[in-house]
Amino acid sequence: MATEEHLVAARSNRADHIAARLSAAGFTPRVRHRKGCICVETEVPDPVSAEAWRELLKVLGTADSFGLITSGSGRIAWAAISKDTPATAGAARGHGHQL
């Protein structure tokens, strides 16, 4: 059985892996620890290459939830890793897959 310490490390590793993949695809990610999740955010340039867009979508799909915010100042993609333990986390992830 995993200890809470191992779960925290695993969540941080997932967020770091997402950030590394975004960096490799040419994005500039930021990792932010929030109350209920670890959030990885990156600005999405306009235009963005088809290859970078595909990689962005693949990477976002590895998170517990994700989204894209568009405003007058640009676009920000985000991926969140829940800090809840599996027993207390919702069964459905933000993009329709189960945990």
| 2-36 CB burial, b ≥16 within 10 A, e <16 | eeeeeeeeebeebbeebbebbeebebebeeeeeee
59: closest CA among 36, 29, 96, 91?
29
- pLDDT given for residue 51 in this prediction: 95
Residue 5: predicted pLDDT: 78
pLDDT for 85: 59
Whether 27 contacts 74, CB under 8 Å: no
User: What per-residue confidence (pLDDT) applies to 1?
Assistant: 52
Q: Does pLDDT of 77 surpass 70?
A: yes
- H/E/C letters for each residue in 39-61? EEEEEECCCCCHHHHHHHHHHHC
Mean pLDDT (whole number) for 5-17: 85
Per-residue pLDDT tens digits for 35-50: 889 999 999 998 999 9
